[in-house]
């Protein structure tokens, strides 16, 4: 995690917790000429625009006080969306039984991308049931080999 995201996490965590919400992720990225500070929040039944606005206002005040970012940037506070990232252990635990997409650093059984139902997560190993043509197969993925993971919407 970059220094900016660490500082922002310290500032926003109590604000989000006091509002009864969960901090899902923080991104600090450059896109073209512009810098973006993105804070993703959620709660069990989803969030609304008012909650995003409230967190944005309170965080903006804290950022103005401390001023940890030396240049102009855009602050965005939003929901992580339907395909929310899975980063923390509790994200994976909540996703058991749901459709996920997992990308690995190195191939497992000749593949680096897996989409299927998350069957099990124990902190060290992830089991995903994938469909290969007409049959189902369980793939075991060591947690340390996960490059990124997210919920996957199926149609």
pTM recorded for the entire structure: 0.79
Domain count along the chain: 2
Are both 96 and 116 inside the same structural domain?
yes
Are both 105 and 61 inside the same structural domain?
no
Phi, psi of 113, deg, nearest 5: -130, 135
The verdict on residue 83 lying in a domain is: no
The verdict on residue 96 lying in a domain is: yes
The verdict on residue 112 lying in a domain is: yes
The verdict on residue 23 lying in a domain is: yes
The verdict on residue 94 lying in a domain is: yes
Q: What is the pLDDT of residues 59-112, one digit of tens each?
A: 999 999 988 898 899 999 999 888 889 988 989 999 999 999 999 999 999 999
User: Which is it for the CA torsion 75, 17, 150, 102, positive or negative?
Assistant: positive
């Amino acid at each position: 995690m970059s220094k900016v995201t660490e500082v922002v996490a310290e500032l926003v965590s109590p604000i989000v917790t006091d509002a009864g919400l969960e901090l899902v992720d923080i991104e600090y990225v450059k896109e073209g000429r512009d810098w973006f500070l993105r804070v993703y929040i959620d709660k069990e039944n989803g969030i609304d625009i008012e909650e995003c606005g409230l967190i944005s206002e309170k965080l903006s005040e804290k950022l103005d006080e401390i001023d940890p970012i030396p240049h102009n940037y855009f602050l965005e506070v939003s929901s992580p969306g339907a395909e929310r990232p899975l980063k923390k252990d509790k994200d994976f635990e909540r996703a058991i039984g749901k459709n996920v997409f997992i990308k690995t650093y190195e191939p497992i059984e000749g593949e680096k991308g897996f989409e299927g139902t998350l069957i099990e997560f124990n902190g060290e190993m992830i089991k995903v049931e994938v469909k290969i043509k007409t049959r189902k197969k369980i793939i075991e993925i060591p947690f340390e080999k996960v490059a990124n993971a997210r919920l996957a919407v199926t149609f």
